[in-house]
């Protein structure tokens, strides 16, 4: 462990203690040790995976020969890092790519690199725009968007890089006619050639997205939708991609949003980046909270967005007196940890698309019994975060986040009264029917019922 890593751990720990106290920090530290051990194993796995991909040949033709515009706003990136990005684009196994660079930098490094790739013939389809002024990340990205001509646009930071088969995988996913595709990602620290913190994402999950920008990179959207949003908004700089992604998802249907479960994007960590040090850009987290406040206003929903213990993760609290009739389903042996449990759960009905909301159920010793359910490959019911200590936040803090699920416990939930016709003792059957009727089933892990 080098000095830089020790300093980062110290700074993060000190900040966490200041925000959350010693006890909460102790719990987080236990989880942190496990994450560190997992990262050691992942680093070796990822390096082997990426090395093996370097020999992949160009892919065959798809039925739909989709053209992608890669939007890259630049502002004096490290020349070596930018070259790594350009090389990862030039080496793509899928070739119908247009690279659109909006350069607001003070040096000629980006332009020289671009010209080198053009002259060599490795990347000929490049639109290079030298901006006369730095319009900020949103304004610069909008300039790239205006110049794009592809069927779809992809958002790429100027110092990150791609797996060589990234757009082959995306193009394959888009053959179904989807409007949006996103992939999994990890982080990368160049001085140690280390991949870490793999972010393996779920399929589209609106309530999780309202808790954290879990989609992030790689995000690809139909250009017509990107233009329809009006582009990026500078009032949300620092979280402009979060705002953009949310607004894009509002202009399509859920079944037109596809998740590719492969790690194809590598987010470069540096001492001043949020990838490596969440404390480095606190303004970005406040911008993220404002994005959610704007979402509430746009959908005319009463509520407020708040920061949580974890940087970049949020909690929306809903309010309002005009709620539909609902039924409370609570098991006889369950005791509420908060007298406001029912009120909090029912508040989600301020959103017309929410059909049922479940709580977290814990045992006498505080281990999770149920925080929503999913099904395994054999179709069996599997409780999410089963047996985890209720004070842990889990992988990517998702155990602590509001999110959509296949089912919740029907002994610790509220259901719209008009949906009680779907009641069944088997929660998987019951909530499957509710979802098939077009409603979301949400779990709120901060609402807790305990077995007595």
Q: Quick one: pLDDT at residue 38?
A: 77
Q: How much is the average pLDDT of 225-230? A: 98
CA distance 91 to 310: 37
Q: Is 43 helix (H, G, I), strand (E, B) or coil?
A: helix
pTM, 2 dp: 0.91
CB 358 within 8 A of CB 430: no
Lowest model confidence (mean pLDDT) among 36-50, 136-150, 291-305: 36-50
Whether pLDDT at 9 is above 70: no
The answer on pLDDT for 279 being more than 80 is no
The least confident of 17-31, 212-226, 250-264 is 17-31
Chain Cα centroid distance, residue 234 = 21
Distance CA 447, CA 452 (A): 16
210 near 158, Cβ under 8 Å?
A: no
Q: Is the pLDDT of residue 21 over 80?
A: no
The model's confidence at residue 8, banded by pLDDT at 50, 70 and 90, is low
Is residue 134 very low, low, confident or very high in pLDDT (cuts 50, 70, 90)?
very high
Q: How far is CA 44 from the centre of its chain?
A: 24
Q: For position 52, what pLDDT does the model report?
A: 95
* pLDDT range class, residue 276, cuts 50, 70, 90: low
The residues, ordered by sequence, that sit 6+ positions from 59 with a Cβ below 8 Å of its Cβ are 93, 94, 165, 168, 171
pLDDT by residue (tens digit) across 332-383? 999 999 999 999 999 999 999 999 999 999 999 999 999 999 999 898 999 9
In angstroms, the CA 12 to CA 204 distance is 30
Structure tokens at 337: 């940890």
Which of the 8 DSSP states describes residue 348?
G
**Mean pLDDT estimate for the chain:** 92
- Closest alpha carbon to 88 in 124, 39, 123, 47: 123
Per-residue pLDDT for 23 more than 60?
Answer: no
Taking the C-alpha atoms of residue 34 and residue 67, their distance in angstroms, rounded to an integer, is: 42
Q: What is the pLDDT of residues 435-445, one digit of tens each?
A: 999 999 999 99
Q: What sign results for the dihedral spanned by CA atoms 315, 317, 323, 327? A: positive
pLDDT on residue 277 = 55
Pairing of strands 68-74, 152-155: parallel
pLDDT of residue 39: 84
pLDDT band at 239 (very low <50, low <70, confident <90, very high): very high
Concatenate the DSSP letters of all residues of 155-175 into one string.
E--TT-EE-TTHHHHHHHHGG
Above pLDDT 70, what percent of the chain?
90
Convert the pLDDT of each residue in 315-335 to its tens digit.
Answer: 999 997 789 999 999 999 999
32 pLDDT tier (thresholds 50, 70, 90): low
For residue 36, name the pLDDT band (cuts at 50, 70, 90).
Answer: confident
The pLDDT tens digits for 135-192 are: 999 999 999 999 999 999 999 999 999 999 999 999 999 999 999 999 999 999 999 9
User: Nearest to residue 172, comparing CAs of 245, 93, 88, 100?
Assistant: 93
Structural domains in the chain, sorted by start: 68-287 (3.90.550.10), 320-451 (3.90.550.10)
Q: Which residue has the higher pLDDT, 83 or 270?
A: 83
User: What pLDDT does 187 receive?
Assistant: 97
Q: Does the pLDDT at position 452 exceed 90?
A: no
pLDDT at 77 over 70: yes
Q: CB–CB of 447/341 below 8 Å? A: yes
Interatomic CA distance for residues 53 and 81, integer angstroms: 20
Under DSSP, the state recorded for 367 is B
């Amino acid at each position: 462990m080098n000095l830089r890593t020790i300093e980062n751990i110290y700074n993060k720990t000190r900040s966490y203690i200041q925000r959350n106290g010693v006890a909460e920090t102790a719990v987080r530290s236990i989880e942190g040790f496990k994450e560190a051990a997992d990262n050691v194993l992942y680093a070796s796995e990822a390096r082997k995976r990426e090395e093996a991909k370097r020999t992949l040949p160009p892919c065959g033709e798809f039925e739909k020969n989709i053209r992608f515009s890669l939007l890259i706003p630049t502002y004096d990136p490290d020349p070596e890092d930018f070259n790594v990005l350009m090389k990862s684009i030039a080496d793509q196994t899928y070739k119908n790519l247009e690279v659109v660079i909006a350069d607001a930098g003070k040096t000629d490094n980006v332009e020289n690199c671009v010209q080198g790739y053009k002259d060599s013939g490795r990347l000929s389809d490049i639109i290079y725009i030298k901006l006369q002024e730095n319009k900020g990340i949103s304004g610069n990205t909008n300039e790239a968007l205006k110049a794009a001509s592809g069927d779809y646009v992809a958002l790429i930071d100027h110092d990150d890089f791609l797996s060589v088969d990234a757009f082959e995988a995306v193009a394959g996913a888009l053959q179904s006619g989807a409007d949006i595709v996103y992939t999994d990602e990890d982080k990368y620290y160049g001085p140690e050639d280390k991949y870490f913190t793999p972010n393996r994402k779920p399929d589209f999950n609106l309530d999780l997205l309202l808790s954290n920008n879990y989609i992030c990179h790689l995000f690809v959207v139909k250009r017509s939708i990107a233009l329809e949003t009006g582009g990026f908004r500078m009032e949300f700089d620092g979280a402009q991609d979060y705002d953009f992604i949310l607004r894009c998802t509002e202009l399509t249907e859920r079944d037109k949003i596809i998740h590719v479960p492969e790690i194809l994007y590598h987010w470069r960590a540096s001492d001043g980046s949020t990838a490596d040090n969440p404390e480095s850009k606190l303004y970005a987290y406040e911008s993220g909270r404002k994005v959610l406040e704007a979402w509430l206003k746009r959908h005319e929903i009463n509520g407020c967005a708040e920061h949580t213990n974890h940087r970049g993760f949020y909690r929306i609290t809903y309010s309002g007196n005009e709620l539909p009739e609902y039924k409370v389903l609570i098991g006889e042996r369950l005791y509420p940890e908060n007298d406001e449990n029912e009120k909090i759960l029912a508040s989600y009905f301020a959103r017309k698309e929410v059909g049922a909301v479940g709580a977290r159920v814990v045992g006498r010793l505080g281990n999770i019994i149920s925080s929503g359910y999913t099904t395994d490959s054999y179709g069996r019911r599997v409780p999410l975060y089963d047996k985890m200590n209720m004070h842990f936040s889990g992988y990517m803090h998702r155990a602590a986040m509001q999110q959509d699920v296949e089912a919740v416990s029907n002994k610790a939930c509220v259901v719209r009264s008009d949906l009680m016709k779907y009641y069944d003792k088997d929660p998987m059957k019951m909530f499957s029917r509710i979802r098939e009727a077009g409603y979301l089933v949400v779990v709120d892990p901060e609402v807790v019922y305990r077995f007595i």
